[in-house]
Every structure is written in C-alpha cells, then in structure tokens.
Amino acid sequence: MPTQIFVNLPVKDLKRSIEFFTRLGYTFNPDFTDEKATCMIISDTIYAMLLVEPFFKTFTQKAICDTSKDIESIIALSCESRAAVDELAQKAEDAGATIPKPANDMGFMYTRSFEDPDGHLWEVFYMDPAAIPHG
C-alpha cells in the first residue's frame, strides 16, 4: 500500500466547506463523514479531513490558528496542465474563494492560489519537468 496523506483542517461550518469543495469537483467518503467531520478525497493517496473546530480541538492542546491574521500552512496540489490549474482556481473563485495574489508564471512552473471559506491557503500548480532550469 502506498503512503497516504491525511491533512486535517479545522472548519467553522462543515456544510459550507462540503458545498465549497463539491463545487471544485471533490467528493467525500461517506464512511468517514458525520456532523463533526468529513473525509474529502483529493486523489487515491491524498485526503483532507475537514473537522469542525470543537472536534479538531480534541486532537491538540494548541489554539487553532486565526487564518484571518496568520497562516498555518500552504496546501499545494499539482495539476496535469496549466489549463487544469486555471480551471481549478476559477472554480474556487466562482465558489467564493478569496484570491490572495495573481497567477505566477515562472516558466517551468505556473501557480495560482486561493483561500477557502475558512482561510486555508491552497496553491495549485503545474510544473513542466523539461523546462526546469538546472544549475
């Protein structure tokens, strides 16, 4: 079995988060979904556990980050093309995401960023291996 990653993210309103990510094309595992949490399927090996804040707090003694002022992480997801990056970023914007900065074209890599309704920063990118500068 390949290594899998489960990113756990606190959310204020689980229904709102499910609606937002559904509009981006993601699905959810019903076996790991209830009123406290859901398992968003990103790929065969990548999942985001969206946990309502009181439930999230049961896993840590630390305070939950106020994403309106601070950042806890940048969740970066690769896409198969520049067009796929644009498509996902546009879906996010159409679903109500905040766009914190314009697209960034570095030649070998193209990125777009958005903040979900809870302020988590997502970066979607396409990297062309043939164009990577070797120095």
Each residue of 3-39: pLDDT tens digit? 999 999 999 999 999 999 999 999 999 999 999 999 9
In DSSP terms, 124 is beta-bridged to 77, 112
Amino acid at 60: T
Contact 116, 72 (CB under 8 A): no
Residues 6+ apart with CB under 8 A from 63: none
C-alpha distances (whole Å) from 76 to each of 34, 57, 79 are 26, 24, 10
Beta bridge partners of 126: 110
Decide if 55 contacts 34 (C-beta within 8 A).
Answer: no
Q: For the segment 86-131, what is each residue's pLDDT rounded down to a tens digit?
A: 999 999 999 999 999 999 999 999 999 999 999 999 999 999 988 7
In CATH terms, the fold of domain 5-131 is 2,3-Dihydroxybiphenyl 1,2-Dioxygenase; domain 1 (3.10.180)
